[in-house]
Structure 1
């Protein structure tokens, strides 16, 4: 009896070691339960004739089209083309927006003249720029880079400028009291204080840039996921259209997850508990 009593705490101690790591992961899976339920209902609805399979193909048909495009190598070519365009356009937008946002946080007089121009251009939809992009840069990568740049620039700039203008007054006074120059102030005070805003802007800007590349490829490109969807539409291959939409969602989800990882690494102190 004594031996059994002494042996009882061992499983409890072992459980205490794995439960803190395993249980949150298992609990997080319940947030995704709606997705398979909807897919099953959709599949059943098509097979039962409640949903027109020509207008909304069953998930099994979409998956089969996805496998066929993947085996042919066309899918990966178009995914790579779209991701590469977003990488270039987003990188240019991030560099320009962060630089200008921090600079205007320091030079407020210059910001007073430039901000009205930015606020005038910002509400213009990127779709309205596509005809000009084609006229200026032709079909292909350059026009897509331009559209992605416009879509990504404004969220990043707005958040960066807001962060630069939100630096605590006490931090500014401490830097001034220690005789910090403008460059030292930007590097040691302004940029670290603005970093949570910058990362938030980058996350939003990347999402907008990803939607912009699809819009640009629908009209102004000869490759990429948007072009693939447009080509499938002209051939009335609805399952390929929806397969492309699925890939767009998955890639966008992965991009957002990557940005969340970067956010946790760069600003761990700003993460919600």
Structure 2
């Protein structure tokens, strides 16, 4: 019921040498990445649009809030019915869970953008898409990045639930099959893999943000050092 660490290591080694662990890991990475990219992009786009178009926001806001109250797991039967038991249903479930944290943070960040920055941009001639691209979005970046970072963890959580319903490979499938044959050591291998995957993905996300947006957090770093 509670295997020793050495037993878990032996099970991980056996799964690794047979190639099964890598196969399941690659499948889970693809699903989580596709769902995260889809849900994150749609969340940023809708949040930005609603914050910049008040009339559109007033119309659609109640619908989005009602949809937000529906957990992704409640869509499992419908996702299988709509997309089958292939990759489509799993990517849909992950994208659904990722969409709402990203949307909320983007909407709040863009809506509450620094008014001083907006006035400064307007005084320098920024209008329309230039105001949005060069003033509004950079001002809202802390909120957008926070939403995406939260969504990254959500994607991994929903990934396991999605793979427990109709998948034939993936880390969640590995855990489920190990439970059916009473291989608790392999179940622990799957749990450890998920933990390492979550830590590594968060670390990679922070590195990408630092690479693409070198100014992000620079002011906070200077204040801390001073």
Residue 232 (str. 1) matches residue 174 (str. 2)? no
State the shift of 1:121 in Å: 1.2
- What residue is the counterpart of 2:218 in the other structure? 269
State the shift of 1:227 in Å: 0.7
Residue 177 (str. 1) matches residue 126 (str. 2)? no
- What residue is the counterpart of 2:44 in the other structure? 98
1:259 partner SS: helix
RMSD across aligned positions (CA): 1.4
2:198 partner SS: helix
Q: Structure 1 segments of 4 or more deviating over 6 A?
A: none
- What residue is the counterpart of 1:138 in the other structure? 84
Residue by residue, what CA displacement relative to the aligned partner does 1:96-136 show, whole Å, maximum 9, x if unpaired? 11111111121111111212111111122211111111111
Uncovered stretches (5+) of structure 1, i.e. residues with no partner? 1-54
- What residue is the counterpart of 2:7 in the other structure? 61
Residue by residue, what CA displacement relative to the aligned partner does 1:36-75 show, whole Å, maximum 9, x if unpaired? xxxxxxxxxxxxxxxxxxx111111111100000000000
Higher relative contact order (CA 8 A, sep 6+): 2
Q: In the alignment, which of 189, 193, 204 is matched to residue 135 of structure 2?
A: 189
Greater radius of gyration (CA):
1
State the shift of 1:270 in Å: 5.6
2:165 partner SS: helix
Change (3 A) 1:271 1:241: farther
Q: TM-score, normalised by structure 1?
A: 0.77
Q: TM-score, normalised by structure 2?
A: 0.92
State the shift of 1:244 in Å: 0.6
State the shift of 1:269 in Å: 2.5
